[in-house]
Structure 1
Amino acid sequence: MRGTMQAVAHSADGERKTMTKVSMMSWKQADRVGAVTGSLRRAALLGVAMIGAVAVLPQVAQAQPSLVILVRHGEKQPTPANDPSLSEAGVARADALEKALAGATPGTIVVTATKRTQETAAAVVKRTGITPTVIALSGAHVKSVADAVMKASGVVLVVGHSNTVPAIVNALGGPKLPDLCDASYATMFVFQPARDGRAAQLVTSSYGTPDAPGASTCAPPSR
């Protein structure tokens, strides 16, 4: 995984920046002391280098979240079309998400009313004991999620859909991003809202089993 791990930092205005040498040094140092294992934990640490203290999160109450982790639901069964459960690959991805978040345990979890988002978050829910906030897929969904996230504190996990996760990043103050492709399930966004005069920052990375080659080149997704 070390050779295939990729991360891209985005400023709030949408500018893409490759990771700096300082970022990569921080990643390697953490690996040497065993602080980070697995691709998503590495991504969280890359977030430390790019957007501030992710590994050592503030323990005091905050007016807004310190970190927002956003992922699409895991791979899904082909049927039923309206509300499928996760496939075997999706269940494995949900387990990978739980393991990866061990270093950045969320205090708030936001899902939709669909089985696939709730099942993706299930392993994290089981470990943390947190009752997820369920926000229905309506015309106001993106705004409702953004409002709920900004009222939370600490680390927030959002499990959404291919066409909602990028829009939520933008609604939180991040850059405007395209919808995720139908075959894209490994993408993870690590976002820190603007705070105390510091611009919002976004790191885009991946976790679990990598997407198949060409997964980021797509026709309109099936959500």
Structure 2
Amino acid sequence: MKFAPVLLALALLAGCASMPKDEARTTFILVRHAEKVADGSKDPPLTADGEQRAQALSRRLASTPLSAVYATGFQRTQQTAAPTAHAHKLDVITYDAKLPAPQLAAQLRRDHARGTVLVVGHSNTIPDIATALCGCPAAPMSEAEYDRLTTVRIDAEGHATLDEGRQD
């Protein structure tokens, strides 16, 4: 029985060694705001289709434990983020859309060393934020693209991977 503690320790170490090294410690889910009203204003709300897309995003992320939800101060990003934040009992954290992507990415990585974070932005910011979080190139996004879901996973060693898919 003298060896029981040693065997237990070895079994525990073996279990740790078999865990995948690329398991995400932090995941950032990045989306562009949903479809907006074309009213010529600088701060339009979502269209009915946009509201449906925001609800669909909330349903898609319903079983994903989120630790934070971020959106710029514009109506369209706030309205896109709101259903998901509400479903997870989280407040939407407003960030400045003009904040340089590397600065925002550094803040996000510093403030969220673990967990899953949703970030809602714009067609001209989401690819740059993804690139800054990942350290790898993200595809540009057109003004007509509303359904891209970009995921950046960062493992325990700080290595990041990028996945670009579709919300629908």
TM-score past 0.5 threshold: yes
Which one of the candidate residues 65, 77, 82 is aligned to 2:42? 82
Pairing 1:142–2:111 present:
no
In the alignment, which residue of structure 2 is the partner of 1:154? Answer: 115
Question: Aligned ranges for residues 1-223 of structure 1 at < 5 Å?
Answer: 52=23, 66-138=26-98, 140-150=99-109, 151-152=111-112, 153-196=114-157, 199-208=159-168
What is the distance in 2 between the residues matched to 1:103 and 1:174?
A: 28
In the alignment, which residue of structure 2 is the partner of 1:43? Answer: none
Identity of aligned residues (%): 32
Aligned residue pairs total 146
What is the distance in 2 between the residues matched to 1:113 and 1:66?
A: 24
Indicate the structure with greater strand content: 2
What is the distance in 1 between the residues matched to 2:38 and 2:137?
A: 30
User: 1:80 offset after TM fit, Å?
Assistant: 4.2
Partner amino acid, structure 2, of 1:166: P
- TM-score, normalising length from structure 1? 0.60
User: 1:130 offset after TM fit, Å?
Assistant: 1.0
Superposition RMSD in Å: 2.0
- The answer to whether the 8 A contact 1:135-1:141 is kept is no
Q: Deviations over 1:137-178 (max 9, x none)?
A: 22x342342133211130000000001101001111242224
Long gaps (5+) in structure 2: 1-21
- The answer to whether the 8 A contact 2:134-2:162 is kept is no
What is the distance in 1 between the residues matched to 2:100 and 2:71?
A: 11
Long gaps (5+) in structure 1: 1-50, 54-64, 209-223
User: 1:79 offset after TM fit, Å?
Assistant: 1.4
- TM-score, normalising length from structure 2? 0.79
Larger Rg: 2
Partner amino acid, structure 2, of 1:79: D
